[in-house]
Every structure is written in structure tokens, then in C-alpha cells.
Chains A and B, each alone.
Chain A
Amino acid sequence: MLFSSMTFVYMFLPVVCLIYLCSKKELHNGILLAASILFYAWGEPRYLAIMFLTIIVNYLGAIAVEKYDRHKKLALILTVIVNLGFLAYFKYFNFVLDNINHIFSLDIKLVEVILPLGISFYTFQAMSYLIDVYRGECKAQKDFYKLALYICLFPQLIAGPIVKYHDIEEQIDSREVNFDKVQYGVKRFIIGLSKKMLIANTMGAIADKIFVQAPDTFTPVVAWLGAAAYSFQLFFDFSGYSDMAIGLGAIFGFKFMENFNYPYISKSITEFWRRWHISLSTWFKQYLYIPLGGNKNGLKRTCINLGIVFLLTGLWHGASWTFIIWGIWNGFFIILEKITGLHKDAQGFWINFTKHIYAVLVFVLGWVLFRSDDLGYAFKYIKNMFGSVNVHDVTYAIPYYIDTYEVIMFVAALVCSIPVFKNILNVSKENKLLYGLINLWLLFLFLLSSATIASSTYNPFIYFRF
């Protein structure tokens, strides 16, 4: 089930909210757990089995880590291997097989594997819990149902943010559901839904039109348009989902960490990664980078550690060389900044402006890698952006890609990428007029987003009677 579907917004959510908000506190966890299981099972119930196995393995693993002090490392390693084993099989097995076939000119048949929804997210969440127990940062959860709730809590199950166990442990046991949280949560949900349906989908439609064509059949202007559109699509899609997750969490009394902090205003790639997908970068920092030594063992070792982290970050995103190269691309610039000191704050408008342009260039080109089906396409696309490709057989003119509505959304995307409306939800209630206008505006956005979702259900059979 997706957040941006009629069934979720207008069937699942109102029913769950009604039951949850009208019931006693003691029942809250049970209701949420049942709702989360239903949410996950909606699309493909069989993959509940994988999630249940993950919960059971980590439940037993954490208890073993806590109980058998002398063998805690072994228990940790074994449980992590099982966790990563699930992930490796479902996500990477065919990728590895495909590469072996390619390198050794073999013809091993690929396995028919369907990737369970959200496996990357809940596996990392589960490992976060396990490692926290190992480090003594928290106690092993004896209540199976509470652990299950942590791992499969539906607001952040399929698209994050990756919630670390130590951040949420207390909230599972005791959290308050009050009017302020509910109203904040609803507003945050609406903002996220609007970002996704209005901006991200519009940008996505532009990007899809461009990336579906051969990379030498459109002009450099269109190539830049595609790259920009995709950059906005990715940001607003992902941050929109995070906003919805945070908003839903707030409705149910949870406070999740922020996942995005206006990454497109960054002046370095180091800063970019402090603002982009924060839950993932902090996860890697706490559970990989720091255990590897972090930046404590000299510059050379730091660079190696950063390289490993970003290689795995790329791999985490998907089983494809484009993702791996994208991870390496980011890692390269982070290392470069580390060496040159480019990531440090500087004075002067023009220096900062130039740094900002540099950062934008790096991440936009990185997104082209991220979006492309293969490396060949990506490199040709990037070459086209810089006019180094012989463009031929151009089919479409600019109006094919953008008209008034798309321009409006581009402007909205640009404006919402900078912290102009950062404190929109913190406007004082004393300022009644502004507060009222914001509420009205949010309701309007909700209706518009709902209309967009409704519009996607319209599927005329065009060829009939034609």
C-alpha cells in the first residue's frame, strides 16, 4: 500500500486513526501493530513471512547477545549475517549472478526473486536494534510485540526514515497522544502528500519523458531539463514520503528524526550528506564509519573509511552498477573535500556561491547516474549535457516537456528547496490571520493532492471502439 493512494488516505488512515484515537492508551501498541501488519500484507501477504523471520531472528539474537556475555560478539555476528543474508538474497543475488555470467561468459539461470517491500529499511532498523543492545545502549526487548512494532511500524516501514532503536525505545513504552501532536502530524502529512503528488509527480513526468529516449536524441537544453526535473522529483518524492511518515508518527504519538534538511542549499558534498537522507547517513556513521575508526586514525584511514561507507551507501540503494558508481562518485568528492578542506565554512558571498554551484553540479550529475538504466546511458547523457554528443533524430520540441503547469511546479520546487517556509508550522497561534490562512492553504493543498490521486484512478480503455 502506498501513502499516496486512495485506499491508504481514504480507507486505511481514517479507520486506523478513528480506532487509535478513540481507544485507551493500553491498546495503542496492539492497534498499531495490527495496522502495520495489515499495511504490509496489503500488496503481497506472503512476504510477511520474511519480515516475521527478521523479527524473530533479531528478537532471539538480541536476547542471546544480552544473555551470553562471553559469546555476545558471536551472537551479534551470526544475527547480522542472517539479516544481511536475507537482504543479500532478495536484493543482490541475481545482480551477483548476472555479473558472474558476464565476467566468466557463463549462462547460469537467474533465480526468480521478488524484492520484499521495504526490506532495506526494516533490515537496517533491525540491525540498529541489535547493535544498540550489543553496545549496551539499551536493553533487549523481552516483549516480542514491542519489538515487532518497532520493526514493522507502518509510517516508516517502506520508505524510512530509518528509526534507530535507542531513539524510539522509550516512545514505544510511553508516549503521549495529544491534540497538538495530532494537529502537527496532520499538517506535516499534508505537506508531505502535496510535495509528492504535486511537485514530485510533475517533475517525474518530465524526467520520464526525457530519460525514456536515447541520450543522443534530444538537445543539451533538454538534457539539463531532465537532470533538473529528476533532481527535484527525487528530493520531493523522498522528502515528501519522510514528511508523511513523520506526520503519521506524530498522530500516533511518536517523534521521528528529521530526514532532510534542505540539502539543495549545500555548499559542499559533505554538507549535502548532512542534509540528505539523514537517517541513512547517521546509520552508516554510527554503525559502520565509527566502528571502522571514523576519522580518528589519520587522513589516509579516514578516506578509506569514507570510501567504504559510500560504496555501501550506493549498493544499499540498489543492485546495479549505476548505484554503486553513484555511491563512489559521492565518496570521491567527500574525500576530495576532506583532503582539500573544501567542506569547511568560508567567508564571502562569491566564494560561497561558487561552492554552492560546485555542489549542485556534483549532485545533479550524480542523480543522472542514479536515474540511468545503465552506465553507458548515463555517460552519454552527461556528455550530451555538455554538448559533447552528436545529437540526431530529435523527435520532440520543448513544449512536449513543459507548459504552464510544469513551470509553476518548477518554481514551487525551487522555492520549496530553500528554507523559505521552514517555520511554516511554527507560526504563532497569536497571529490569527496568518495562522488561519496557513490552515486554509493546507486544506486546499490536501484537496488538490487528493484530486491528483483521484485522477490517477481514471484509466480509460482508449483503444476500445476506436
Chain B
Amino acid sequence: MKKRTILSIIITIVCIALTNKFWFCVNPLEISFNVKGAGDTKFEFFLNKEDNNDFKRVKYGVIEANLDEEDSVELFINRVHEAKRVKLTISGISTPPPQLKTIVLRDLQLRHGKYKLEDLKAFSAEGAKLKINGDKLVIFPEAEAVSLIYNKPVSIKPPVKFDIKVLIVIAVLSFLTALKLTSYLADFKTLNNASRMDIIFLTIFFILLFIPMSHIDTQTNYNKKENRSFAKYKPFINDKQINFEFGNNLDSWFNDRFTSRLCLIENYVNLKYRLALNYFEYKDYVINKKNNWVFFIKSFKTIDNKEFTENANTIIKSIIAINNYCKKHNIKLYIFISPTKEYIYKENNLYLHINAKNSVTQFKEYFEKELKKENIAFIFPVKEFRNQRNNDLLFYKTDNHWTEAGAFLGYQILMNRIKKDFKDINILDKNFFDYEYRKELKFAEHEYYYSSSGRSVELMFINDNNIADTKYKYFKIKNSNEVKVKEAPDGIYFKTIYNDPYIKIFNQTNTWLDSHNENGKHKAFILGNSFTAAITPYFIYTFNDMVQRRYNINAINELSIRLYKKDIEKLKPDILIICINFAHINDLKMLERGLD
């Protein structure tokens, strides 16, 4: 009996400690301020526990407001035990986020005026210029998101609430339950030969069965890691009709949202990764553990002749249709296909048999022959990339995109071909750039960020710092700056600012860009996937007017002319470049859609 009491007391103490949030808590921290601007705006507050500007251990609060009239805004952040630094991020709400207008902020205070951020000079900004006007802080945004940091420590200590009644209830209930449980377990020893080990085993088993259901994530609808939307819940009776797919729908819904899903997957995948000696394969990717090269498995497939010919002919038909459209509008069409890493660096992939053939060579020979008949410029620089592969790496080891060196090589090959038709075009050469070598991978959209490992590795859930073992060459255009735009959970976003007075960039979103260069020649419309982003900076300096559009982003999954006809006919370009990578060659099948 004594043992049971002691054990029960220990369990009670543990329960009290685990439930501290209920009886030992702080009042929510109130933050208020007056603000005027324009449009729907989001305000995100970060309260740092540490006295620095890293903002790693933070409490977070967010509020949205319409700023068309001066508004007094108030929000509450729960469980702020201590805060030493304050950061505020301001951004627009719609997608894509609009350019922010001037914002006027005043009376920013915390905890009902106990802490006032009065020293406006202590504010610093990223993505904006600041001006102090009496007691007002005027913010002139220069980016889609503005970050304000109050560089003075605030040392907020909200009052602690000690709820003795809740503590007593928890303590008593825990003790009584623990005492009953220990007595029950002790008595079971002699009851029906039921072993205590079996009781514990079954208890653990049934507890495990209920864990995934215990906290289903109903809030998340989009998962950045998987790049997809989660399945929505569809009821059994929907609009007075029976949903016969209810079972399958609920399966999908639950599969996306059960408790600790990503944690479980991550640990499992990491375990398998650690066990693998030479190769680790997951979700269509394989990593060669000896040299940290990651490849996309489906690229290795050799297509059989019948399937290949059917496929190829569909693509060629579509390209010819586009070419006819271009001829009608006096546009010269260039199809540029970036070779795949799997072929260019095939020696690094011991998955392949030493004599393995690859569909790349099949494709190149067939397409060049067929498109030459129609006089269509088709550039697929396999040999050139193979020859240059050992200079600077042309593709990232742990991502399928080309590096800036690869993009520049592609640019030069493409422009040399264009120059045959447009002799006055100037092609950038290496002297135009400064260079640096970095270990990180640059995700090549117009607001880019650097990642230590790469998207393929992230998708594979691999957490291995040794994977980032290579430096890549980065091209810095001599008259440009890299400016921080915002910080997000997946990294810090940057933008390139071109300081050349002859260059104007407009209509820029993360994935498309229009430019005007007084010193450039001819107008070009660039259409493609993510491979265009790395090559676009070179086009900015080459063409007089350039419009770049990207498909396979957000809701746009097809590469078809119907989505861009209007933009093309508005620009009236001399040149239309379609730039994709070989892995997406089948996307060209839809190209002619909209040409009725």
C-alpha cells in the first residue's frame, strides 16, 4: 500500500508539471497601435525571448486590417512569459501580394500602455524607408513585405496568474486516478493469470491506436513541403445527395492530417536513409550516398519505340502549329530544351548500367530531323553540356535545376543560334559579371532564396548536413544589388535590383517579369518553367523589351498558348523562346491549345 501511495504521488507530481499551462499562466499580452495606409494589410508581431535581432525563439501574433481610414488596431498574444525584442512585419493580403502604399504608424504600445515603443528612432526597417513625423512613424515600402525591428530591448514581463483552484483539482484527480490505477495493476497479478506485462502491452497498444485521431489537423489546407493542397473533408450527405466516395474521401482527408504525420514520416525516412549504404531511394528520387548526387529516377527510363514515336509525333505537331502562329505574326520561334542532369552527369549515378541507353539520344535525333524539315529552331545542347560538365557544375547536385553556370551556358548557346537570324543582337560575355562561389543552392525565381540542400533533398526528408559539400558558381551582374525582401519559414527571400539606369523592371511577381532595356535589341517573349528564371537576368540585358511568363506554378499547370496569346499579341515580339527542361518535354503536347 505504501508503494502504491508513493508511486501515486510521483504520478501526481508529473501530471501537475505537465499541466502547468492550466494553473500557472500569464495573461494574454495586448498590443495596440494606430495605423493608416491603404488596402487590406497583415501585421505580424514577433516577440523575441532573447535580447537579439535573430528572432529564433519567438511568440507570434497576427492581425489583418483595412487601412483605408486610420484605424486603431489591437491584438492579443497568448502565453508570452517574457519578451525582450519586438519585430513587426507588414504585408499585403491578396495573392500575389500587392505593392504596399505608405503607412503611418503611431502609439505602438504593449500591455495597455505599460510598455510604449516611443523612441521611433530605434526602429529599423527592411524593405522600406522610414521617416519620423512628430509622434508618427511614416513607412515608405519598397517591397511587398516590410520588416520593422525595434532595436531597443523592451523586457516585457506580463503578470503571472497562479490558479490555485485549478491546481487543487488537477492534483486531487491525478492522485485518485493514479492510486486506483496502481491498485488495479497490482491486483491484476493474481487475477485470471493475466500478466502485468500483457496489461501494459495492451494499454500501450490501444493508446497508440488513438493517438493519430487525437489531434487531427483541420486548419492546414496547403502543405508547402509536399507542394500540394490537402484533401478537403466531404460529408456523406452533400447537397441532399449521397457521396458514394465518402470512404475514399475520408481516407484522403485523414491521411493528410493525422497527428504527428510529418514527424513520423520524417523519422522513418531518416532511419532508412541512415541504413542505406550506397543508395537511398524515396518518392522517385535517389541519392548516391557516396557522392551526394541526387537523381530523378524516371529520367532513366528508356522509352520503347512505339510509345516514343507516338509521343514525339504529338509534340512535333503541336510545335509546328505554334510555329505557324508565329509566322503569321512575324515572330521567330526558338525551342530550347535544357538537357537533364541525369544524362549530363550520368557517371555519378551508379544506378545505371555501364552500357545503359537513355531516351535523350533517341529524342534528340528524332526531333532535330523532323523539326528541321519545318525550319524550326530547335536547340537541345546535349553535346555542349556534356563537354562543359567538368568545368563549373552545370546542375546542382541535390536539385534538378541548372546552376547559374548551366543557365549561362544555355543562354550563350541559345543566343548564338538567335544571332544567326538577328545579327545585331549583343550576347553577354563572362566579363559582364563578378563571381562568387557559395555552398547554398539558389532557388531561381525572381524572389529567390538560398537553401543548404535543395528541394529534392527536402522532399526526401533528409537531414544530413554533409550533403551540402559543393560550392556553386554564382554570377553577379556588375551593376546590381541583392536586397532582402522578407523572411519566411522556408528562408530569407532576396530580389535583384538592377542599378543600370537604362533598365526598368515592371510587372514583376515571384514568377514572371517584364523588362525594358534601352540598350537592348529586339523584343522577346519568354515562356517556360522554372528553368527560365535563372536565364532571365541575362535576357534582361539582351533584349529591348522582354516579357517572361512561367507556367507550372499555382493553378497553371499547362503550357499552352491560350493563356499567353493576349500578352504575346500585346507585346508584338520579334522572338518567342520556349525554354523548358527535358523532363517536362511532354508539356509541349498542349502548346497549341487555344490556336483555334
> Which residues of chain A have a CB within 8 Å of any CB of chain B?
1, 5-7, 9-11, 13-14, 17, 41-46, 178-180, 182-183, 186, 190, 214, 393-397, 399-400, 403-405, 408, 429, 432, 435-436, 439, 442-443, 446-448, 450-452, 454-455, 457-466
Contacts and interface: CB of A to CB of B under 8 A. Distances in A.
Nearest to A407: B277
Contacts of A393: 302, 357
Interface string B173-216: 00000000000000000001111011011101110111111000
Contacts of B256: 457
B201 A403 contact: no
Contacts of B300: 395-396
B195 A435 contact: yes
Contacts of B226: 458-461
Contact of A451 (B200, B264, B275): B264
Contacts of B2: none
A465 B351 contact: no
A392 to B, nearest CB: 9
Contacts of B255: 6-7, 457
B209 A9 contact: yes
Contacts of A180: 193-194
Contact of B356 (A394, A439, A446, A466): A394
Contacts of B455: 465-466
Given A13-B209, A183-B198, 19 more contacts: A10-B210, A10-B213, A10-B254, A10-B258, A41-B247, A182-B202, A214-B304, A394-B356, A395-B353, A396-B351, A397-B353, A403-B276, A403-B281, A404-B276, A443-B201, A458-B283, A461-B227, A463-B552, A465-B553
Interface residues of B, number: 74
Interface stretch (B76-84, B92-100, B115-123, B265-273): B265-273
B552 A464 contact: yes
Nearest to A452: B268
A391 to B, nearest CB: 11
Given A403-B277, A442-B201, A455 B269 contact: yes
A466 B529 contact: yes
B297 to A, nearest CB: 9
Nearest to B358: A395
B469 interface: no
A183 B247 contact: no
B264 A454 contact: yes
Contacts of A405: 272, 275-276
A6 B258 contact: yes
22 contacts: A5-B251, A7-B250, A7-B254, A13-B209, A14-B206, A42-B248, A45-B246, A180-B194, A393-B357, A397-B352, A399-B278, A400-B351, A404-B277, A429-B193, A432-B197, A439-B198, A450-B264, A454-B261, A455-B265, A464-B228, A465-B552, A466-B584
Contacts, number: 183
B202 A460 contact: no
Nearest to A440: B201
A451 B227 contact: no
A398 to B, nearest CB: 9
B275 A404 contact: yes
Contact of A1 (B206, B247, B401, B584): B247
B248 A43 contact: yes
A46 B283 CA distance: 34
Contacts of A436: 197
A400 B297 CA distance: 10
B210 A14 contact: yes
B522 to A, nearest CB: 29
Contacts of B254: 6-7, 10-11
B350 interface: yes
Contacts of A399: 278-279, 350-351
B284 interface: yes
| Most chain B beta-carbon neighbours within 10 Å: one of A393, A403, A436, A460 | A460
A446 to B, nearest CB: 7
Contacts of A186: 201-202, 205
A427 to B, nearest CB: 11
A42 B281 CA distance: 32
A172 B443 CA distance: 63
B584 to A, nearest CB: 7
Interface string B238-253: 0000101011101100
B204 A443 contact: yes
B552 A17 contact: no
A323 to B, nearest CB: 26
Contacts of B445: 465
Interface string B124-150: 000000000000000000000000000
A14 B244 contact: no
B400 A466 contact: yes
B595 interface: no
Contacts of A463: 552, 584
Given A403-B277, A439-B201, A443-B204, A397 B210 contact: no
Contacts of B225: 460
A395 B205 CA distance: 45
Nearest to A439: B201
Contacts of A1: 247, 251
B293 interface: no
| Most chain B beta-carbon neighbours within 10 Å: one of A393, A395, A396 | A395
Interface in B374-400: 400
A462 B277 contact: no
Contacts of B356: 394-396
B459 interface: yes
A316 to B, nearest CB: 27
A325 B352 CA distance: 35
A452 B278 CA distance: 21
Contacts of A460: 225-228, 283, 459
A12 B296 CA distance: 37
Nearest to A459: B226
B355 interface: yes
A39 B401 CA distance: 45
Contacts of B541: none
Contacts of A435: 195, 197
B18 interface: no
Nearest to B229: A461
Nearest to A9: B209
Contacts of A14: 206, 209-210, 213
Contacts of A455: 264-265, 268-269
B204 A466 contact: no
